[in-house]
Amino acid sequence: MSLMDKCKKSLCQKFRMTDLGKLNWFLGMSFVTGKDYIEVNQTKYVEKILDRFNMSDCYARNIPCDPSIVNTSTVESNELINATLYREVVGSLIYIMTGTRPDLCYVVSKLSQYMSKPTKAQLNSAKQVLKYLKGTMTYGLTFRKSNESIQLKGFCDSDWGSSEDRKSISGYCFQLHRDGPLISWRSKKQQTVALSSCEAEYMALTYAIQEAKFLRQTVSDLDEVEKGNVKLFYVPTQQNPADIFTKPVNQKKEDEFFCHINKKGRDGLTINKKTFSMVFLKNAEAPSCRVFIEREQIMQGKFDNQQSNVEKARSYRNVVPEKGAKDTFY
């Protein structure tokens, strides 16, 4: 049995799944698998958005944007009465750029700066990107099998003060080996105004190094899993102590959390590594106390009634209720 088949079998034992065979289509991305390569593109998604925005019959362009897009905000143009169309176009372009089209990175980043009050000129710039996609809809990324060892390689660059507010634009991209496709790319306006082109380059280098450190750590983590130094397991929600960090929980879940993290109850009662059940002893004249009873023993019938449970609970904490006091179970 191959490693893939073992993985599928293991997942099917944990979850309700259906094996649909080789991956061909996922979230608007098309996957073509060959002997030593995997090609990813968004051709069908591009066709879909061209039809959605009535651009299926448009003339194709060979570049994503004109150089004049740098000054698009200074061009006299009427503000769009309804910015919904512009936002929908740019949102679709963001998804394409993020998935398989790093060549759209700069223009999409530029157009995203005008989402609040776009003008007709900026809408025309967005439509030009759609025209560019018309002629390049088959473009994508190709991942090929390589005998070379993984070596993270990155490039970064910056312009100087090209934006209307004189802030510079940083850009970077990374690949895992010399002939491999890009695995990370970004175009971002710098947060402060650079006083020189050298300073702008240093800012771009800072962004690139931050991404490089993240990618290097990610690759290192994958290696740790492959070496067996890190093992991944499925933990049901009911047994996962991290569940308390994701949503509001009830009293039972909170108490189980305290039991898990230090093998003690919330009031300091030491417990064993078995599964425990919560019991509340409430006294009308004395403060309430919280104690634990071993659920396994209760399920085995070693405690036949509530009174014996009370006696067992008292033995854990030496609780001696006052005469006439009543114990209540929940």
Residue 246: pLDDT above 80?
A: no
Two tokens at 44?
């069908």
Q: Is 253 in the same domain as 185?
A: no
Boundary-marking domain end, from 232, 252, 279? 232
Residue 86: per-residue pLDDT:
93
Output 49 or 239, whichever has higher pLDDT.
49
278 assigned to some structural domain? yes
Q: How many other β-carbons are positioned within 10 Å of the β-carbon of residue 25? A: 11
Q: State how far the Cα of 269 lies from the Cα of 282, in Å rounded to an integer.
A: 17
Which residue did the predictor score with more confidence, 324 or 162?
162
Which of 198, 217, 232 marks a domain boundary? 232
Query: Is residue 145's pLDDT more than 50?
Result: yes
The partner residues of 270 in beta bridges, in order of sequence, read 264
Q: Tell me which residue range forms the domain holding 87.
A: 20-145
Instruction: Evaluate if residue 46 carries a pLDDT over 90.
Output: yes
Same domain, 63 and 136: yes
Both 136 and 175 in a single domain? no
Reported as a pLDDT band with limits 50, 70 and 90, residue 45 is: very high
Pairing state between β 29-33 and 25-26: antiparallel
Residue with tokens 């899993």: 225
Distances (CA, A) of 229 to 76, 222, 274: 61, 10, 28
Instruction: Give me the CATH number covering residue 183.
Output: 3.10.20
Residue 274 pLDDT > 50: no
CA distances from 97 to 53, 84, 183, 204 (A): 18, 20, 12, 20
> Does residue 118 register a pLDDT over 60?
yes
Residue 326 lies in a domain: no
Determine the pLDDT at residue 44: 92
111 φ, ψ (degrees, to nearest 5): -65, -30
More confident residue, 323 or 7: 7
**Structure tokens, 93:** 């372009």
Q: How far apart are CA 140 and CA 45, in angstroms?
A: 12
Whether 207 and 131 map to the same domain: the answer is: no
CA distances from 271 to 193, 255, 279, 293, 302 (A): 60, 12, 14, 9, 19
Give the best-scoring range by mean pLDDT among 14-23, 43-52, 272-281: 43-52
The number of folded domains in the chain is 3
104 and 203 housed in the same domain: no
pLDDT at 252: 80
- Angstrom distance (rounded) from CA 305 to CA 301: 9
**Does 199 reside within a domain?**
yes
Q: Do residue 28 and residue 49 come from a single domain? A: yes
Whether 327 has a pLDDT exceeding 70, the answer reads no
204 and 274 in a single domain? The answer is no
- Asked if residue 275 and residue 220 are part of one domain, the reply reads no
> 9 in a domain, yes or no?
no
130 plus 152 within the same structural domain? no
What are the tens digits of pLDDT across the range 300-323? Answer: 444 444 445 445 544 544 444 444
240 pLDDT more than 50: yes
Same-domain check for residues 198 and 222: yes
Average pLDDT in the 47-67 region?
A: 89
Asked whether residue 194 is assigned to any structural domain, the reply reads: yes
CA distance readout (Å), 257 to 174, 254, 262, 265, 289: 41, 5, 9, 9, 18
Q: In the chain, what percentage of residues exceed pLDDT 70?
A: 76
Shared domain for 137 and 152, answered yes or no, is no
Residue 148 has pLDDT above 50, yes or no: yes
Domain boundary among 232, 251, 272: 232
The answer to whether position 2 is within a domain reads no
pLDDT score at 275: 38
Number of CB atoms found within 10 A of residue 283's CB: 15
Question: Is residue 220 assigned to a domain?
Answer: yes
DSSP string, 248-300: ---HHHHHHHHHHHHSB-TTS-B--SS-EEEEEE--SSS--EEEEEEHHHHHT
Which residue in this structure is represented by tokens 């998935």? Answer: 99
Q: Quickly count: other Cβ atoms within 10 Å of residue 245's Cβ.
A: 9
Please indicate, yes or no, whether residues 24 and 135 belong to a single structural domain of this protein: yes
pLDDT tens readout for residues 96-105:
999 999 988 8
Is residue 47 included in any domain, yes or no? yes
